[in-house]
Structure 1
Amino acid sequence: MAAIIDVQHVHKAFGGLKVINDCSIQVEQGSITGLIGPNGAGKSTLFNIIAGALPLDSGHILLDGEEITNQPANQLFHKGLLRTFQIAHEFSQMTALENLMMVPPAQAGESLFNAWFKPSRVMLEESEVRRRALEVIDFIGLHPVRNELAGNLSGGQKKLLELGRTMMTDARVVLLDEIAAGVNRTLLGDLVSNIERLNREMGYTFLVIEHDMDMIARLCDPVIVLAQGSVMVEGSIEEIQNDPRVIEAYFGAAS
């Protein structure tokens, strides 16, 4: 299958410290690809470069064959490349439903002219956005708390809400950053099931940074291991777990 994300020979340094060193990875369209490695391997930095949060020093990043090198996150959003965060970024004083309704860009109601002179258009669009948001709320299992302030949700519910936000757009690739962090095992099961459904039923491609190896084992194929800013090895979770280099660099480092 074709690579929807193609990272080519990327370098990134902070001062004299090289964090990403001639790193190249490919994420196949329709895959759930895992990105793991010991602390300091460069995972978060590479993630932030792909997501448009950090500029690279040299190299190229392509999205479905289109050059997106150093494009900011807001431009990538409109191209269908989105990310979630390790710490959820909800609008705490808005309800869960309202959080989802905020996502679609360029809504008619954002224009004062439309609000004054085209109220019927604004109401029609808002009704459609609300309908879609309710569908998403049902999909992610948050219907019972749809009218709860997002700030009052549990950590796991906030992560589900973040995943739901990606469904309010024309997402093609979703970057998941430590989505299991701070989530209880029950809600983590819901998260994993929703990711699998989005991949299977809607064709989402995922790139996942995660320390929960059980989650990586269930979700991801292939798995890419970074070490010292470069790709050490790529393969199935079984190949990764039995690779002596990974045991030494990753699992050994964690023990």
Structure 2
Amino acid sequence: MSSMIEVKHVEKSFGHLKVINDCSFDIEKGSITGMIGPNGAGKSTIFNIIAGTIPLDSGQILLDGEDVSSLTANQLFNQGLLRTFQIAHEFSQMTALENLMMVPPNQLGENIFNTWLKPKQVMAQELEVRQKAQEVIQYIGLDHVKNELAGNLSGGQKKLLELGRTMMTDAKVVLLDEVAAGVNRTLLKDLTDNILRMNRELGITFLVIEHDMDMIAKLCDPVIVLAQGSVMVEGAIEDIRNNQKVVEAYFGNDAA
């Protein structure tokens, strides 16, 4: 297997506080890689650096072999790297189906002049996008609420919708931020099953930051443990759970 993402000697400080310290790891193509660590370990910071939300101070990020260290989130989106958020970011006054239709970039209808000069092309493209959205919303199991305002969906349904939005593009890799947060157990199973299907059937690579260890155990191999801004250990979840250094990092030196 080759690497989809390579994080090389990345460092990041905020003022005098160094949050990421010589951090290096690879995300293999086709994997579902988990990232865990105690509070303050730097998980969110390295996640946001990879996603292009905040700049790194030094080091390098490669996406599918290409240096993307200086690219913004919008530029990374066009390169096939997408992310979800711990709190879903839906267009609350649009339907679930319309939320999906908003995702594909560079739609002809976004330019008002095209609606006058190229109405047939605009309509044809919109039909294609709608058909794709119909397929995606059925795939993720939200067809029954496709005409419901997204703001009225439950927390779990909004997370599913965010996952569906990643399918409206040619995503190579998806970063999942606390996808289990605020989701009931039934919809959490739907989320987990959809991630596994997208990985298996569509070949999408995932990096998952998550506190729900049962979800990490079901989804992720390998698992990266971050502590004090760098990688402590990496491996299968069974080995991680039995690693004394990991136990101490989470619970202190007095942990049994």
Same fold (TM over 0.5): yes
CA shift, 1:249, in A, is: 0.4
> One-letter code of the match for 2:126?
E
Alignment partner of 1:227 is 2:217: no
Partner residue, 2:188: 188
Alignment partner of 1:94 is 2:94: yes
> One-letter code of the match for 2:186?
T
Partner residue, 1:119: 119
Partner residue, 1:56: 56
Partner residue, 2:37: 37
Give TM-score scaled by structure 1 length.
0.98
Offset from partner CA, 1:91-146 (integer Å, 9 cap, x none):
00000000000000000111122100111111100000000000000000000100
Partner residue, 2:200: 200
Counterpart CA distance in 1 for 2:142 and 2:21 is 42
Partner residue, 2:237: 237
Offset from partner CA, 1:211-250 (integer Å, 9 cap, x none):
0000000000000000000000000000100110001102
Which aligned segments of 4 or more residues in structure 1 are displaced greater than 4 angstroms? none
Counterpart CA distance in 1 for 2:107 and 2:143 is 24
Partner residue, 2:151: 151
What secondary structure sits across from 1:157 in the alignment? helix
Counterpart CA distance in 2 for 1:17 and 1:42 is 11
Partner residue, 2:22: 22
Alignment partner of 1:138 is 2:138: yes
What secondary structure sits across from 2:30 in the alignment? coil
What secondary structure sits across from 1:170 in the alignment? coil
Counterpart CA distance in 2 for 1:226 and 1:70 is 23
Counterpart CA distance in 1 for 2:95 and 2:160 is 14
Asked if the contact 1:49–1:70 (Cα under 8 Å) also holds between the matched residues in 2, the reply is no
Counterpart CA distance in 1 for 2:111 and 2:39 is 46
> One-letter code of the match for 2:94?
M
Q: Residues 251 and 169 (structure 1 numbering): CA distance in 2 closer, same or farther, change over 3 Å? A: farther
> One-letter code of the match for 1:214?
D
- 5 Å-filtered alignment, 1:168-187, equals 168-187=168-187
Partner residue, 1:218: 218
Alignment partner of 1:68 is 2:68: yes
Asked if the contact 1:54–1:70 (Cα under 8 Å) also holds between the matched residues in 2, the reply is no
* Aligned residue pairs, count: 254
Counterpart CA distance in 1 for 2:137 and 2:252 is 41
> One-letter code of the match for 2:42?
G
CA shift, 1:165, in A, is: 0.3
